[in-house]
Structure 1
């Protein structure tokens, strides 16, 4: 714990500014950065606890609150983690190489849009980047126009840049977590793009444009099973 910055260290940084108001602004920025880093630290260990099979109820019991209260307290921190944070925590260990590549594409799309976080749309677009994946083959079998879907999922760039430490938002994190459950439903010990696709279909932002092609979770699951048998 001795390597944590002391108040004197932070004061020394802020004191480099010329005026009292500039020093105050630096202090506020430093405080925000420390708070954000603290959220990521807590989120990192929430992720590890979840990966080891602990439920929100277990986490709540540990701090003396209900499951719902634990989710409300920790979900913002859990969703403050970046893709690099998740890789370091071991949360991506079950993902296939193609699924990890899809996440990398998703992060790139989010930065291109100057988004505040990687969201479900970015994950879906990441999946669409490789036509050789089982997820894309399933969508093609279901008659989905991939170019049109990609267009629907694309948003214009914002006026400000993405944060350096780009987080993965709550909806995207829930989809990633649900993809593990989808894999287990198939009896698989890995998470492929097909599992992530099925998890994303539970998100309205993904389900609605695909519904135009008659795509549902059930029809997609059926097609995936057929493709796996080939």
Structure 2
């Protein structure tokens, strides 16, 4: 049985209930916002099942056939790019990114440069999350057994520790890092939240199903279900979360990523 879907009548009623006695132009503005929201949800619904089909072994050509477009068109639509992240939809991805997510990406870039990498990968995004131990995302990860010190140690063991002279060059996102950001947006939509936060990125690093960050988190015993529950716990009671995580502060004398 097909699930029920919004009808035109129900959408009109939703707009009117919000501004029953307001000016008609205000209702028009509300209707435009609702239509954009529905379009974004629809695009991410399709994208979710495109990802599932890819994991199931379907080729881009087969997916394109189901969508009635070419392989090139479906790849352009669903494979994220830096340009697309800046300008897709009514607002670009970064217009909706929270301050802590932007800081995490800044720290991730510094972590990549400190390790003399010419790219920004999922491992660097995870380091960026670990670089904000006072934020709820790092506290949620710590509740799952992945505190900042443990994360840094696990990643340093995979890709090497920071070097004495960081690279000053630009570090473009890898394909997997862009997918993690794309999945972060999807996680925000799943939680019915307008902004994309660092907690959504942490979940996105798991849902992409591959990459160094995914492997590190899985090896540390972090599951999607447990992390999502931990995010809810620390968000509901941030003061208690901060107190419970005081024992997992970085070891004294150890340089932070990007500050070696």
TM-score by length of 1: 0.61
Q: Distance in 2 between matches of 1:180 and 1:80?
A: 14
Contact 2:82/2:178 (<8 A) preserved: no
The answer on 1:171 being equivalent to 2:173 is no
- For residue 73 of structure 2, the aligned residue among 59, 63, 70 is 70
What runs of 5+ residues in structure 1 fail to find an aligned partner?
Answer: 1-51
Contact 2:138/2:147 (<8 A) preserved: no
1:192 alignment partner in structure 2: 197
Q: Distance in 2 between matches of 1:162 and 1:74?
A: 33
What runs of 5+ residues in structure 2 fail to find an aligned partner?
Answer: 1-38, 47-63, 238-260
TM-score by length of 2: 0.55
Contact 1:75/1:170 (<8 A) preserved: no
- For residue 141 of structure 2, the aligned residue among 139, 142, 151 is 139
1:214 alignment partner in structure 2: 221
1:92 is paired with a residue whose SS is helix
Q: Distance in 1 between matches of 2:127 and 2:95?
A: 22
The one of the two structures with greater contact order (alpha-carbon pairs below 8 A, sep at least 6) is: 2
CA 1:113–1:133: 2 relative to 1, 3 Å: same
Backbone CA RMSD of aligned residues: 3.7
CA 1:72–1:187: 2 relative to 1, 3 Å: closer
Contact 2:86/2:92 (<8 A) preserved: yes
Higher mean alpha-carbon deviation, 125-134 vs 210-219, is at 210-219
Aligned length: 172
Matches within 5 A, 1:42-191: 53=40, 66=69, 68-72=71-75, 79=81, 86=86, 90-154=92-156, 155-156=159-160, 164-191=169-196
Moved over 3 A (4+): 52-57, 71-76, 78-82, 161-165
